[in-house]
Chain A
């Protein structure tokens, strides 16, 4: 281009130049002198012209965006000063902290993310800082800060009240990558509701490499691991069983959630170790400005959430509760069916959970939280039957009970110690109990006035109590280095109990009133403690915007029953941009776990048994390698491909001849055998958003997961029961307008492997007078694969905004295709040929419509 000016003030020259190139030029007014200048340029580029104009005044420029240029002084490289800008990112309406907001220094290109308490610290060599703050679901903010000293800022972001959508996190203005997967509330609501309930864990299960146990039931399984190998945290407190209704729903109320982080690789060192993954969930803190009530009713449950300021801008409170609606109906329906088959009695099921959180701002840099959670599931089946024959009459009573509950309590304090140093302290208590009882009683009267009676029962209880504390420090050492370090301690008491009991010579009244349970001293005999003291450190170095390296180490001293072990857990990862849009990353994680879960079925029942590590059952550990290739195209498309290999050691399985019928009080550990496992696979995920209205995702994974125990299957390796070679998950969200939207989720998954008998044969009894007993003949463990699982869910929602808040109506269909996905297999007589038997599958979730209604009220 050609550009000329004669005897003009630099500000006017720049203004004309700006019009010529069609870009805004911004600068501090005191940077530009008033001395008039002249110049003539012919056939030169815009860049060289601008450079020439600015050099005369020791200035330089930075192109921030496609239409924005910023001028600033040239740095003297010999005497540079580093400025630190720190602060917190908050929601402008509720003053809740925002985790994971991206803060970009537009001049230097440096970027950081806000931590779980909204805190960020960014260093710059520029006296003038232009910061761009981005967080999904909120309007972007540009901050221009001029300072010659370090500053602290509270940044408020305004929500854009978006409808649920599949989010793309790509941003070419920053190459800083967040480790793990962050799910927002909108991400959770993209996955169709089950019986009117959105669910965090179901949203996580749409990710590649993550599956449920059996068509939605049975917990969360990551890369061929079992569900106990996931560290599930609710407000920094570990949970041992986090499902309602055997995995149909999780214990997390989606409406009360603020943030969800999920790691299956590059697991940060500050997390207590589990072999497969970390699911870190934080509830909302509570609104510091106004009161809100959020209530809803669905097919399965009703819920309410109230939050607001006890003292404005100072103390917030949040209380939420959820409970099933179905109990009275369930009791009547089961009573009806029992009566039809000549019995009296009914079944009952309910669950509830309560969340409470108190947040206290001690100062602008100090905050304390108190969090409490209580949740329970209860199932009961109780029936009595009278059987009369010519010679006798008998009363039979069958009683089954399954219940489990969690109670969590934590006190958290965080403080900004210095401009670049942030501290977090936690003290917590986690208590989990499950109880399974099965009692059968019979009282017999004969015509000859003889009586007989017996009561046989068995009971299984699993109790865990964990107390712990930790201190963690985040230190932004420089523009390119973030250091995290800290200490933690936990003491976990495991109380597994199994026993059977009998009682003879009952009088009839005892059939109706069971004697008080039980020999409680038995409970203490299998009790054991596990302690962990750990130090962790993690250093993230980003020498330039194209490369970062993270090196972490967790050193833990594990104490248990008759053993002590020092475990070093290094975690190393790197990220490098090979081009503007392609990034390569890799990770190595060595993880350990100080407990074992003995699961004997594929439904992951809450009655599965937790035991502490010991000299005989040493802590399990794993080594995982992974490598990924990412593609990000602005905010439209995000793709990721990952290859991984994981090897697990010291994993536990019950012996083939294990029997818990007897009071194996001192020999519980002898019922288990030790072995190893391996898992490898390929994962692909694709997310795109080509318009404001339509977004979609596609996740595919291939996986091979096996286990090997010397004492089982003749020492041969066998497919792990949650091995799923192929999984495909596809979803789409269409937001027709600000009020109306719909979504579809599709899932295909290979079936679970199971051990099926090939047939049966007559057993030679020692007592020849007895009729022959048929024995099931098995071959290898997990020798057969169940049919594939396929499910399509759909949902629509309609949101009506009002001056006081909004109303939302939801309608969904779970399993729209009514596919009978197998949960487990039964062997029954063939009706065509009663001498033969055949397999029959049992499915639990056919087509299920649901509705939900939600109302949200905000005080002014």
Chain B
């Protein structure tokens, strides 16, 4: 006769084996019939009046059995500004077999409609439309407070930004903060350190009382705001805590200035960035196991974005 203890152990072992069988037996490769897809190229291009315009053309690295695009060398990229046509030239590679195009001399006026066309060998013609918003924003006020340092190294600062739209019609915004390190120049005047680009700062607990949203962000610096629905406002306020991404710097850091870049962006710019933020986050917040965000695109016969924006700056020194 089997004792109670032995029976208990026996049933445990049976359960163990059963659990292992179930646990390890349930993942298997999946062979799927994927539909023929036109969107095997990803395009990204953001246009604004003051900066050089770049278009990034990347082959999509396929998952599963789809064949990637092998040759982007003969790709042609053009941009129509109203009726005027500009041919963009290849200026660099983008690693991963991607190519970067740009136009060396053109300026890009505000309040115009732009059409981007791309011809990739063996693919349907790619196109997208956008515009550059009118520069109708002005920064009312930009303050910093509660600077936190640790052993002389900057950790975080509270920022408060207030801006208005000159025609009181608010739209979409992308707000970015970064710090600038200075060095002493030849004539003894502090100048931005040429060896270091601006360092983008992450922002936590961003809050806009008008839109009543508590905004936290993912991998990208900056805050995306949809202010279309707030009526009767004279200005928009944003408050938050900016932090350096690096926990420890050397003690001789010469951080002097914090800058804000306020971008008034088009709807497609906003939707694209927001959908990517959500995808990169890996969830929709409180709802786990959610279907992933499929990402917004305004491209025809491709994926990606062609978006426009205008920007203004302000800064505060320490």
Interface, chain A (partner B; CB < 8 A): 326, 329, 332-333, 336-337, 436, 438, 452, 458-460, 498-500, 600-601, 603, 605, 607, 609, 654, 656-667, 755-770, 772-779, 781, 783-787, 820, 822, 825-827, 836-844, 846, 848
Contact = CB atoms under 8 A, between A and B. Distances in A.
B180 to A, nearest CB: 14
Interface stretch (B30-38, B112-120, B122-130): B30-38
A762 B94 contact: yes
Interface in B7-29: 11-12, 15-16, 19, 21-23, 25-29
B27 A656 contact: no
Contact of B30 (A763, A764, A825): A825
Interface in B211-240: 212-216, 219-222
B286 A656 contact: no
Contact of A663 (B15, B32, B214, B279): B214
B28 A841 contact: yes
Nearest to A326: B15
A326 B284 CA distance: 32
Interface string B296-317: 1000000110000000000000
A662 B212 CA distance: 10
B79 to A, nearest CB: 17
A764 B213 CA distance: 27
14 contacts: A329-B11, A329-B15, A333-B19, A500-B216, A660-B285, A660-B287, A661-B284, A758-B37, A761-B96, A761-B98, A762-B95, A763-B44, A783-B35, A846-B25
Interface stretch (B136-144, B159-167, B186-194, B270-278): B270-278
A314 B216 CA distance: 64
Contact of B213 (A498, A662, A772, A825): A662
B157 interface: no
B2 interface: no
B213 A667 contact: yes
A761 B28 contact: no
A436 B285 CA distance: 12
B281 interface: yes
A657 B293 contact: yes
B129 to A, nearest CB: 14
A766 B216 contact: no
Contacts of B277: 659
Interface stretch (B60-68, B70-78, B102-110): B60-68
A839 B64 contact: yes
B63 A760 contact: yes
Interface string B171-213: 0000010000000000000000000010110000000000011
Nearest to B247: A452
Contact of B291 (A326, A601, A826): A601
B39 A777 contact: yes
Given A761-B58, A839-B29, A659 B284 contact: yes
A769 B197 contact: yes
B279 A760 contact: no
Contacts of B35: 779, 783-784
Contacts of A499: 286
A763 B276 CA distance: 9
Task: Please indicate which of the listed interface residues A329, A607, A656, A843 has the most CB atoms of chain B within 10 Å of its own CB.
Answer: A656
Task: Please indicate which of the listed interface residues A499, A766, A838, A840 has the most CB atoms of chain B within 10 Å of its own CB.
Answer: A766
Given A601-B290, A657-B275, A825-B30, A761 B295 contact: no
Nearest to B98: A762
B60 A846 contact: no
A836 B66 CA distance: 11
Nearest to B293: A656
Contacts of B286: 436, 458-460, 498-500, 660-661
Contact of A840 (B30, B37, B296): B30
Contacts of A768: 197
Contacts of B22: 846, 848
B292 A761 contact: no
B64 A766 contact: no
Given A657-B296, A660-B286, 17 more contacts: A458-B285, A498-B286, A499-B286, A500-B285, A661-B216, A662-B215, A756-B63, A758-B40, A758-B63, A759-B61, A761-B61, A761-B303, A764-B44, A766-B221, A768-B197, A778-B303, A836-B63
